Each structure stands twice: as C-alpha cells, then as structure tokens.
Amino acid sequence: MFVRCDFWLHFPGRPLVRLLRLLFLLLIAFTATPAAARNAALTPGVHEVVINGVRLWYRVAGQPRGTPVVFLHGGPGQGSTTFARFAGPALERSHRMVYLDQRGSGRSEKHWAKRYSLDLLVDDLEKLRRHLGADRMNLIGHSFGTVLGLEYAARYPQHVSHLVLAGAVVDFPEILDLGCDRLARVDPQSHAKALERLPKGSPRRCHIFAAPRSFIDGNMYPDPAIMKLVDDTDAACSTRARSSAPWPSRACWSGASPSPSA
C-alpha cells in the first residue's frame, strides 16, 4: 500500500499528481492575489480607481518601498499638479510619493449629483488607503488639505504615521469669518452682496465664496507672478476637470461651489 502511494506520487503522468499540482497552483493564486493587487496599486505611474461613485486620479512616484506619503492639496479644488512639479522631485528622492487629486479636482471626476463634503473626502481617503494596501500613511496637507489631514488623523489615528501641515487651517469656520471681516473693510459693496448670498440660518458672517475673484486671488496669491505660475502649471490638467465654477476653482476645480455653512 505504501509502495503504491509512493509510486503514484513520483510519476508526473498520474492523475493524483496532476490533482495535487492543480491544488497547489490554486493555493498560490488565491494567496498571492491580494499582495499582487496591493503592489499594482503602488507601482510608479498614473492610476485611476473608482471610490464612492467617483473615478479618482493619483500618481505614484519616488522610492519603490516605504510608507506611502499622500499629498492632500488645497483649495478645495486646487489639484496636485503644482506641488508635484515644484516640491515633488526633492521629496521623491527619499519617499514613496502619492499625488492625489481629490474628487472634483484636477484629473479626478466630479460626482454626477455634486456630492461633496468633508466627511466624504475623509472616506475617499480611507478607501484609497485600503486600495493601496497600506496599513499606515504619511500625510502632507497644504491649506485646505490640512483640514482634510487633521480630520482624517482624528478619525483614523491608527492609520497615520506622520502628519505634515503646510499653511495650516486649524479652524476653517474662523478663517471664513476672518475673510468676511477683511472683505467688509476693503470692499463694502461686495461684502453687502456676500451678506445677501448667505443662506438663512448660517452661522457665518457672510458668503465669502461669493466674493469677487480678484479679492480671493489677491488673498491667495499676493504676487501676481506666482499666481500666473500656478495657473500655467494647473493648465496641464485634463479638459474634463476644468470648469468655470466659482472660487476657489482656479484651473482644476470641477465640483460645486463650497458652502459657507461649515
């Protein structure tokens, strides 16, 4: 009996051997698929993934290993193009960078029903982490991206290794109100219109997003040369992501006008 089993196992043409080989290959396939998917999601280059009903664009660059460093751009709506061009090369020498265009921004799609909220952006980021197969992420937030980074870190501290804040906005509602105060000082007529646009029951001092484009641009870019450089860089965004939406659209916002009722 033992001799017969040994005979079957050592001759490849026998059915039992073929069956064992098949089971072995299936085992390898099922156990290797998750790792392969994770590796594919972090291979260098451009990626697109559908999350919460929107196709999100991101690009991986830099080192082939290490904790992913996800850049969270400002705006909302700025896109990652400018940061990737001017700050990316230095960071990529030592880090595994992931440049994400948030929903409705840059090369990512806008939601057909205009679904935009901080909660949704946080959930987009968490689902992206799972897609990348990363247990933890490093986050770099700029301007509005610091709001998103702080909110994500508060909800998922176990998945954040480091959090870097540039041009931090630690109190977004207060920033909106300060903008209203400045608008009242420098342009009372526009401030009156912003008051008229304020939704009923809103705790904000005005609808700052209804302010003239020149006021918003002047606050964001005091140097016109820098504003032109950013606009020229953002022009690389795909045409599907461009729109004439109100502030703070710049070249790459494709979403709805933000609500002042935050």
User: 166, 192, 207: which is the final residue of a domain?
Assistant: 166
Q: Is residue 25 part of a domain?
A: no
Range of the domain at 215: 172-241
Q: What is the pLDDT of residue 226?
A: 86
Distance CA 127, CA 251 (A): 26
Whether 262 is covered by a domain: the verdict is no
* pLDDT for the residue 155: 98
64 and 158 share one domain:
yes
Closest C-alpha to 179, from 215, 148, 213: 215
Most confident of 19-28, 182-191, 213-222: 182-191
Question: So what's the pLDDT on residue 115?
Answer: 87
Q: Tell me how far apart the alpha carbons of residues 100 and 70 are, in angstroms, rounded to a whole number.
A: 7
Same domain flag for 179 and 138: no
The mean per-residue pLDDT over the stretch 162-170 comes to 92
CATH of the domain at 129: 3.40.50.1820
- Of the three residues 166, 192, 214, the one that is the final residue of a domain is 166
Same domain, 158 and 55: yes
pLDDT of residue 38: 58
First to last CA, the chain: 78
Q: Tell me which residue of 141, 109, 112, 128 sits closest to 253, measured CA to CA.
A: 109
| Model confidence pLDDT, tens digit, residues 50-86 | 999 999 999 999 999 999 999 999 988 889 999 999 9
What integer pLDDT is reported at residue 15 of this predicted model?
60
CA 262 to chain centre: 20
SS3 52: coil
**DSSP, residue by residue, 160-175:** EEEEEEES--S-HHHH
How many independent structural domains does the chain possess? 2
Element (H, E) at 67: none
